[in-house]
Each structure stands twice: as C-alpha cells, then as structure tokens.
A and B are shown apart, each in its own frame.
Chain A
Amino acid sequence: MKKILLVDDEPNIIMALEYTLRKNDYEIFIARDGEEAVALAEKLVPDLVILDIMMPKVDGYEVLEHLREHNSLKESTQTIIISAKQKQSDVQKALSLGAKAYIKKPFSMKKLLNTVSELLIHNP
C-alpha cells in the first residue's frame, strides 16, 4: 500500500482528504505544519506528499527544499502541492523546487485522486 503524507494546517480539509484517500486504499499519515511534515517524511519515507504552502513556522516551500535535499527522499518521494496561492510565480516556484503537480484550492476531489493515482502508477 502506497504511503501518503498529508500536510495542511486546516483540520477540516485534512479530514475530507484523509477520508477520501483511505477509501481509495492509500496509507495516510498527517502533519499539521511544515516542521512536523519534515520529521514525519524522514521517518516514513512516503511515496507521496500532499502539501499546503501557507502554514505557520515552516512553509510548504521550505518543506519542498528539505525533501529535495534529503538523499533517501529525493528519489522515492513525490510531491503534490495544494494551495490557495493562485499566481503563476507561485506555481513556478513550487515546480522548480521539485513538486510534481500543483493543484489550486479549492480543488476537485476527483481531480486530486486522478493526479495521485497517475503519479503513483507511473512511478511505482
């Protein structure tokens, strides 16, 4: 079962995501901020991280940098960004930092699921 780490400081969003992804047979872990996310990612080495950008303490960009620098995560872990940030420059920045996809909030659950499965199938 693929491991997915959910990172967002909004519990209600996490809740909806967690429910949907679990139902689709993914193993789900949850982090409430960037710091927690980095620690969990290093420990678990998930197949995928679904990451928010605007979070207290350590933001999504920093988390991306960490993931990229970490040897064991660099190759095995992919990232999808989910953010309310709309600007093209934000998208560019996230992609250049190694994110595989950028999904703007409010997102469609179906689209998110498609992206997740696509990424995980192509990169088993």
Chain B
Amino acid sequence: MIIALAVSVITAVATELPPAIKAIGLILAIAWGADVVRTITHYGIGTGVPSIGMLALGMGMVGAFAGMSMSGFFPTGAGSYAGVLIGVALVAIGGLIYGLVTVKIIKMEIPVLIRGLAELCTAGALVVINASSMLAGTWHLDAVLGSVVASGWIAVIFILSAMGMLHPYNACLGPDERRGRTLTLSVEIGAILCIILGINLVFVDPVDGSLLILVSLIIWIASYVSFVKACMREAYETVGTGLIKTLG
C-alpha cells in the first residue's frame, strides 16, 4: 500500500516521465483502491459493491481537478512539481471528513470506514491525475482541460478506473475469495485503461503511445493469463463439460 502510494505519487509529480512509466503508477493506484474496496466491503455495506467505487471516483475526480488547479498558484519552480501534492492532501482530508460523516451521522458500523474512505478518495484522485498527465503530458489544469476534458475522455477515465476498483472484489466475491487473485484482476483492468489511453496517445505522439500500448499489453496479457490460470487451478474442479450433481 505504501509502495503503491509512493510510486503513484512520484509518477504523478514528475510530469516529464514517459507515459509507459506513469502507467505503472496508475495501475498501482488502481490496485491500491481495489484493495481498500475489498477491506471495506468485506463487512457488507448493504448497497452492493459498486456504490463505493463510484463514491471514490466521484469525490476523487472533483478533488483531482482541485489538485490540478494548484498549477495556477505555482506556475514555475519546485511548486510546479509539488503543487499536486497539496491537491492530494486536500482529497485525503475530504475523504476523512466523508468517513467521519458516514460513521458519526449515518452510523455505519464499519470500523475501517474512516481510514478506508480517505485512502479510497486519495487513490481515486491519484488515478485521475496520473491518467490525465499521461494524456496531456502534464497535470496543469489548462492543459488537461484542453486535451482530456474537452474531448470527453475524462468520462472514459472516470468510469474505467471506477470499474478497476469495484470490479475485482465484486467479480471474486464468495467465501473462497483470495486477495492475490482479486488484486491480479485489478492490475488487469488498470492495464486495459492504459491500453485505451495508449490508443488515444498514439495519434498525438506515436513513439510514446506505442511504447505505452506495448508495456500495458504485456502487463495485461500476463495478469489476465495468471488470473485465469489461478481461477482454474483453485476452483473446485475444472471440467470440459458435464452434468450437474443432483441432490439425493
């Protein structure tokens, strides 16, 4: 978790890195979010798994825009790199207040909820910042508004990264769910997001775009194959075909 936070913050801050490296930060942030979703929904939240992922991204995205707008305060110098950290800190505080509200006012009895919501919103914001900086080359709001928001690709980033956080635990739900398998799935969906971002990028910057597609394609194939193999190995039985077991 700390590794994911560190790597994704570094890739979010350093805008000069090639998109293929930012992709790793993005995938780690999604995996982190999926892990938090798994921890929270383990207790049962009454409304199904999807709602919490949408909460994370809804909050995280608005917060991410607030973080990106820090470029207005720090146009040059060290601030132009670290400005986004203030945004991430703001989102974490916002998530913390959300968690407090949910526990104290709505009286949800989930012990990890306060910390979990703070982490989840932070992960959501980091995903949006990373993905925007992959497309725009920077996270400065004016550049992002031009190339990510005006073209509507923010919708793709929004829903696909929400899916990356909520789908893994939802898809693996069951008494014999295993953490490793769930997180492999989140890496896989993160890689899909990177591939689709790469398809967008390849029209603007062929070299970076194809590199991004290549790296994320490798990650996608590796994680998909390992997930499918793990499932088939760990299921009760994998049979070609067969009749169902009848009750006595």
Whether A associates with B in a native complex is: no
